[in-house]
Amino acid sequence: MQDIGVIAKRALLSGTVASVTTTLAASFAGKREAGAYAAPLNATSHIVWGDEAARQDRPSLKYTVTGFVLNHAAAVMWAAAYEKWLASSSTGVQWPRSVVKLSTGAAAVSAGAYVTDYYLMPKRVTPGFEKRVSGGALFVIFGALALGIAARSLIADSD
């Protein structure tokens, strides 16, 4: 039986790292493609504030903080899927130490996040990045998600 507390702790940490990496990737893409660092995070807040959020360029409590919180929650959720998937159910909590397994697992979870976010979910609850940045930038953002969720496992010696 897996220790849910350990998985939750790991997911919170790896999800926070993933939140930071995706925020940075989205922000730099926003500056390059939309002329504003905050534009992609503001667009993420369309889930709460509607399409008006996607037209906002300036950082604000209303749009940017809401977008960050939504992105952070999603990153932690995907990190939980990653941590749960990589845990061994037969021997308790055992994470693979193989860089290939960790990286491949993170890439698979990130690809699943992309498919879920852009093909299975209603447009009203997509991440919103697509409203301000290109498909190439989305590839980088979801790559940053994979890197972020795997980073804790790749660098941590033990819990």
- 28-70: per-residue pLDDT in tens? 999 999 999 999 999 999 999 999 999 999 999 999 999 999 9
Domain edges within the chain:
4-155
Q: Cβ(18)–Cβ(140) under 8 Å?
A: no
Mean predicted confidence (pLDDT) in 85-97: 58
Q: What is the pLDDT of residue 87?
A: 63
pLDDT above 80: residue 72 = yes
99-131 pLDDT, tens digit each: 888 899 999 999 999 999 999 999 999 999 999
